[in-house]
């Protein structure tokens, strides 16, 4: 599925992280990729993150899945919304919704959350810390947009939901199937279903906070530093006042910190591995039986398509003219020549066709073996059968 007449460069220049944008059905021929019953089925499965938000007069009630199948037979008349996270990990047609948004780098893309609501259903006025495209799949939803918010914006007292205490709409639209609304980080918004059978696809993006980066990078450095790497002052001189922490001592201590924290190459490798960690670490996508080089060569010879796992996170950092570091689900792989070319293509495409030089490369074969055995890629005869 592709967007028609959508100027991604103009969008990034004029709207991305700046202001909301309503886009009326940019798909041309919109086809809803998931049935409501199938979404409800996912919400009943273990290992899939799902929530149910019900509004009872002025009270909001949140339930966490997985839900028993009978739960959806007893919803009652109160407006409700079912939200299922990372549906793109499990439904190829939903995963295909991400492709039109690849003008944003892979490392910024999070997942596709899908919601289904009864008439009047929603999750209340709120704001998010990330960019989101809200695509209307079925039915109609009224979206109201408000002011920019931050950590000091008053919230309603609620144990589970971050709802705005005050919400004044500045814009309002009703979205029909295929319509799309972009909302930047921090902008207040509220979506309410108009009629039943309202389904919305939320393509969300990640943006690490400074505190998150500093904390996790520091933890990584601490794991690597030896215990005997300590402050030394072999050129110390007698001080006039022993209570003073001298400028020389501060300079030496600060240099110790800076040298560790400012390792650019080390940070690049760490960030690539950290950022590519799977969203759900407990999910095991590895094949039932390990794949070896002969299996890979046989699959390539037979023309079986090599496909990227929709749940996998892949990106790369260039290192020199023909080399790069590939990051896949928390691991890094040094690639050069044909393997670097293959890695770059894999990061850009869901299905990869290898040319003759790649198929003849032992490095490429070894890389595919490693990626298959960790569940990042697979050879698929169809969507159900994987090598």
Q: Where are the domains of the chain?
A: 8-205, 293-379
Q: Are 133 and 112 in contact (CB under 8 A)?
A: no
Q: In this predicted structure, what is the pLDDT of residue 384?
A: 46
The DSSP result for 328-377, as a single string, is ETTEEEEEEHHHHHHHHHHHH-SEE---HHHHT-HHHHHHHHHHHHTTSE
Residues 6+ apart with CB under 8 A from 213: 271
What is the spatial distance between Cα 204 and Cα 209, in angstroms, rounded to a whole number?
16
Do 293-379 and 8-205 fall under one CATH topology? no
pLDDT along the chain (387 residues), means of 10: 89 97 93 96 96 90 94 89 97 95 95 97 95 98 97 91 94 97 97 96 96 96 93 90 94 93 94 96 92 95 93 94 93 96 95 91 97 95 47
The helix (run of H) or strand (run of E) holding residue 109 is strand 109-117
CB distance 257 to 217 below 8 Å: no
Task: Reduce the DSSP state of residue 215 to 3 states and report it.
Answer: helix
CA 215 – CA 222 distance, rounded (Å): 11
**Strand order of the sheet with strand 109-117?**
21-23, 180-183, 132-138, 198-205, 109-117, 80-84, 50-56, 59-64
Give the integer Cα–Cα distance in Å for 111 and 83.
13
Per-residue confidence (pLDDT) for residue 47, from 0 to 100: 93
CA distance 323 to 139: 48
Q: Give 162-203 as a DSSP string.
A: --BS----SEEEEEPTT-EEEE-TTEEEEEEESSS-EEEEEE
CA dihedral 206, 210, 212, 215 (to 10 degrees): 160
d(CA 80, CA 316): 41
Q: Out of 1.10.8.60, 3.40.50.10110, 2.30.30.90, 3.40.366.30, select the CATH number for domain 293-379.
A: 3.40.366.30
β-pairing verdict for 351-352 and 306-308: antiparallel
Among candidates 123, 138, 122, 124, which has minimal Cα distance to 199? Answer: 138
Reported CATH class of domain 8-205 = mainly beta
């Amino acid at each position: 599925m592709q967007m028609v007449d959508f100027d991604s460069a103009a969008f990034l220049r004029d709207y991305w992280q700046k202001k909301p944008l309503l886009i009326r059905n940019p798909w041309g021929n919109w086809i809803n990729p998931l049935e409501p019953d199938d979404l409800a089925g996912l919400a009943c499965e273990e290992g899939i993150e799902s929530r149910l938000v019900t509004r009872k007069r002025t009270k909001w009630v949140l339930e966490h899945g997985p839900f028993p199948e009978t739960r959806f037979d007893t919803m009652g008349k109160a407006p409700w919304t079912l939200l299922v996270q990372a549906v793109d990990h499990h439904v190829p047609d939903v995963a295909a919704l991400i492709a039109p948004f690849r003008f944003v780098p892979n490392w910024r893309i999070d997942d596709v959350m899908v919601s289904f609501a009864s008439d009047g259903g929603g999750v209340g006025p709120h704001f998010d810390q990330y960019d989101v495209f809200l695509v209307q799949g079925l039915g109609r939803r009224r979206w109201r947009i408000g002011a920019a918010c931050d950590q000091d914006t008053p919230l309603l007292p609620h144990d589970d939901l971050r709802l705005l205490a005050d919400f004044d709409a500045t814009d309002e639209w009703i979205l029909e199937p295929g319509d799309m609304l972009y909302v930047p980080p921090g902008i207040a918004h509220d979506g309410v279903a108009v009629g039943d059978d309202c389904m919305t696809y939320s393509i969300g993006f990640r943006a690490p906070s400074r505190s998150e980066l500093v904390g996790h990078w520091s933890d990584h450095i601490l794991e690597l530093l030896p215990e005997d790497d300590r402050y030394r002052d072999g050129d110390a001189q007698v001080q006039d006042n022993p209570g003073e922490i001298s400028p020389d001592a501060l300079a030496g201590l600060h240099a110790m910190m800076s040298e560790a924290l400012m390792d650019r190459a080390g940070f690049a490798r760490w960030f690539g591995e950290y950022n590519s960690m799977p969203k759900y670490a407990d999910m095991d996508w590895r094949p039932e039986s390990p794949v070896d080089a002969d299996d890979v060569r046989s699959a390539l010879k037979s023309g079986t398509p090599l496909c990227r796992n929709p749940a996998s996170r892949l990106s790369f950092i260039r290192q020199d003219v023909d080399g790069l570091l590939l990051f896949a689900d928390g691991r890094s792989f040094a690639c050069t020549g044909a393997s670097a070319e293959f890695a770059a293509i894999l990061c850009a495409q869901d299905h990869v066709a290898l040319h003759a030089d790649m198929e003849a490369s032992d490095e490429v074969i070894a890389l595919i073996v490693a990626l298959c055995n960790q569940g990042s890629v697979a050879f698929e005869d169809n969507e159900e059968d994987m090598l």
